[in-house]
Amino acid sequence: MSDAFLSATVRIPGHEGAEIEAYSAVAQDDQPRGGVVVIHHLPGYDEATKEIVRRFGHMGYNAVMPNLYWHDAPGAAPDDAAAAGRAKGGIPDERLVGDVAGAAQYLRSLPNSNSKVGVIGYCSGGRQSVLAACSLPLDAAVDCYGAFVTGDPSSIEGHPLRHISPLYDKLPNLNCPLLGLFGADDKHPSPEEVAELEQLLTKYGKSFEFHSYAGAGHAFFMVERPAFRPEAAKDGWERIKSFFGKHLSA
């Protein structure tokens, strides 16, 4: 197996048949392999998350990140499109599911796909990764510190969040194993919210594996931010490698 992959901006099917922009890393040999849909965080389709797509390419997966704000401002600079999406109130859940479905379809259509597809998301994308795994036929999902999978956004003092819903009603439909990576110092999701999610997944008989890192808060994978915690990030990447290796191999 070669380690060569091609990273490039591509067009993929999105929600309701719309064509959207995406960033992909595609292995350049015929060896069958799994695919990974990468869900970017709320600030948008950015360089840091493209680096994560390339990392999955280097790990031997085909990977793709849909530009979730493309619908709001097709062709605009990614940060301008994110600002436009933000002004409209964010990414609707239904649209997110449609875009991830299109990304999974793109990965499965690649000639060297083994038909297995996983999803991973960071921050808001962590919640969206769980949402996708509860809504679509996927083979593995990773939630990196996604807030409001559990918990009550409307209870936040001063700024109740009424347009983001927790996923209580969707969790019984989780249809693949879930890896959760959390910072013990994070406020959202708090350790209590993570514990509640663990209890619910146990109750529903779901397969999951959670790790919470002491001394790490939110966004500990982000290498260009003060929140970066190298030990948590290194261990997290090992967990991801092992989890996807187990569930996305043929």
Which residues contribute to the site for another protein (CB under 8 A)?
41-44, 46, 72-73, 76-77, 79-84, 86-87, 89-90, 123-124, 145, 147, 153, 159, 161, 163-164, 186-189, 218-219, 224-227
Judged by beta carbon, residue 15 or residue 40, the one nearer another protein is 40
CB atoms within 10 A of CB 109: 12
Q: How far is the CB of 53 from another protein (least distance, A)?
A: 18
The rounded distance, in Å, linking the Cα atoms of 55 and 118 is 15
Closest to 69 measured CA to CA, from 133, 28, 18: 18
Whether the CA torsion 72, 124, 49, 83 is positive or negative: it is positive
Minimum CB separation of residue 133 from another protein in Å reads: 19
The span from the CA of 183 to the CA of 145, in Å, is 7
Helix (H, G, I), strand (E, B) or coil at 1: coil
Enter the tokens of residue 52.
């994560």
Residue with smaller CB distance to another protein, 102 or 183:
183
Residue 171 C-beta: closest distance to another protein, Å: 20
Q: Of 30 and 224, which CB lies nearer to another protein in the complex structure?
A: 224
Nearer to another protein, 73 or 97 (CB): 73
Distance CA 64, CA 99 (A): 11
